[in-house]
Amino acid sequence: MKQRGLTLIEILIVLAIIAIVSAIAIPIVNGVSNAEMRSAARQLASGLRLARSEAVAQRRETFLVIDIAGRRFKVDRDGREYKLPRNVELKLFTAQQDLVDDKVGSIRFYPDGGSNGGRITLAAGERKFEVDVDWLTGRVAILD
């Protein structure tokens, strides 16, 4: 007598395959993978650290200007402009005097290494990275 149906092992294997495919496909369907988000946060932190080191080395105020609408940033007096992923939502928290308008602002670094402080938030769906700048020391940290 033949039995029809699936064994428990076969069902578990199919569920495991579905879980693996979902874990890979869902972040890509949302537009921005976790690796892309982390890379964008690191790139932004690197730009902030560059601005701080330029301020200290050249003994003058230096800015990192961020264009929220255009999803790009630029270090003061550096010709290069750095692009961020299209599907990442950006928010800038900085001093009122360093806001050009509601779409463009900057974080300022002083010759002593300090800063006006601030936070840049990168978000896509429920995932979020925050790049913090300490106002006293100018230290840059990535929080996830």
Domains, in order of start, for the chain = 34-143 (3.55.40.10)
Tokens of 142: 């990535």
Please, is 117 exposed, middle or buried when counting C-beta atoms within 10 Å of its C-beta (0-12, 13-18, 19+)?
middle
pLDDT tens digits for range 58-101 = 999 999 999 999 999 999 888 899 999 888 899 999 999 999 88
Alpha helices in 30-77, H assignment, sequence order: 34-58
Pairing of strands 82-83, 72-75: antiparallel
User: For 6-32, what is the mean pLDDT?
Assistant: 81
